[in-house]
């Protein structure tokens, strides 16, 4: 926190604490934590890979049709 900035309101901190406590309770109820963790990691990698494909697609060179209508 920079000098002169007000501290975060207590209501925001209470909401975050309540959110994380609820999240912890749900995690404690999960029986197969290994499967859930594996799916979360796979989903994260899939989204990251899809983002890389889309970013690479924007940078791919485009063909020209200047030679008899064929793509080169």
Alpha carbon distance 49, 72 (integer Å): 28
DSSP three-state, residue 13:
helix
Contact 64, 55 (CB under 8 A): no
Per-residue pLDDT of the chain (72 residues; tens, 9 = 90+): 556 666 656 667 888 999 999 999 999 999 999 999 999 999 999 999 998 888 777 766 666 555 555 555
Alpha-carbon separation of residue 4 from 1, 7, 8, 11, 12 (angstroms):
8, 9, 12, 20, 19
């Amino acid at each position: 926190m920079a000098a002169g900035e007000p501290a975060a309101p207590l209501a925001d901190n209470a909401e975050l604490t309540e959110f994380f406590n609820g999240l912890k309770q749900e995690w404690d109820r999960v029986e197969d934590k290994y499967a859930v963790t594996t799916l979360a990691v796979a989903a994260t990698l899939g989204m990251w890979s899809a983002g890389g494909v889309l970013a690479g697609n924007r940078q791919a060179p485009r063909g020209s049709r200047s030679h008899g209508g064929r793509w080169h």
